[in-house]
């Protein structure tokens, strides 16, 4: 099975999805967090712009924080959890861009101003 056809059910990801008609990226990020994690978030900054050419996507990743401590699995999620850095199940993350975003977040977590990241160089 090629990576394109691999199932992601049971793997971890960040709240994400496609924009609705006439929706801004910021509004879409907040909506996806509500739909998938029943979470209200406050966006801090644009973390990254990733190009995933093989599926014709441009992904905008935001750095955000919970506006309240409440969250739960929404109808599109099997489970929702917060992980400490050393507890992240790296081998169970659904997409490379999730790994990139987590690593880019770690690099900027104490910065108030930074340039958004792009795809890391190929290994």
CATH code: domain of residue 59: 3.90.79.10
Whole domain around residue 50: which residue ranges? 13-108
- The answer to whether residue 120 sits within a structural domain is no
86 by Cβ neighbours in 10 Å (0-12 / 13-18 / 19+) ranks as exposed
Of all residues in the chain, the percent with pLDDT exceeding 70 is 94
- Mean pLDDT in the chain? 93
Please give the model's pTM, rounded to 2 decimal places: 0.89
pLDDT digits (tens, 9 = 90+) for 54-78: 999 999 999 999 999 999 999 989 9
Residue 1: is its pLDDT beyond 50?
no
- The answer to whether residue 46 sits within a structural domain is yes
- The answer to whether residue 123 sits within a structural domain is no
96 to 25, 51, 56, 93: CA distances (angstroms):
21, 11, 15, 8
Report the pLDDT value the prediction gives residue 8, as an integer from 0 to 100: 80
The confidence band for 123, taking pLDDT boundaries of 50, 70 and 90, is confident
Report the pLDDT value the prediction gives residue 60, as an integer from 0 to 100: 98
pLDDT digits (tens, 9 = 90+) for 6-31: 568 889 999 999 999 999 999 999 99
Q: Which residue has the tokens 């690099």?
A: 107
Report the pLDDT value the prediction gives residue 2, as an integer from 0 to 100: 42
Contact partners, residue 46, CB within 8 Å, separation at least 6: 60, 61, 62, 63, 116
In the chain, the number of structural domains is: 1
């Amino acid at each position: 099975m090629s990576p394109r056809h691999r199932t992601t059910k049971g793997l971890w990801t960040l709240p994400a999805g496609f924009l609705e008609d006439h929706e801004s990226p910021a509004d879409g990020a907040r909506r996806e967090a509500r739909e998938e994690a029943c979470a209200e978030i406050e966006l801090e900054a644009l973390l990254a712009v990733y190009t995933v050419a093989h599926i014709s996507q441009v992904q905008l990743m935001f750095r955000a924080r919970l506006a309240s401590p409440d969250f739960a699995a929404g109808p599109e999620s099997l489970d929702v959890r917060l992980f400490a850095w050393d507890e992240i199940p790296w081998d169970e993350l659904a997409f490379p861009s999730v790994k990139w975003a987590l690593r880019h977040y770690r690099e900027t977590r104490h910065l108030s101003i930074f340039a958004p990241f792009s795809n890391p160089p190929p290994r």
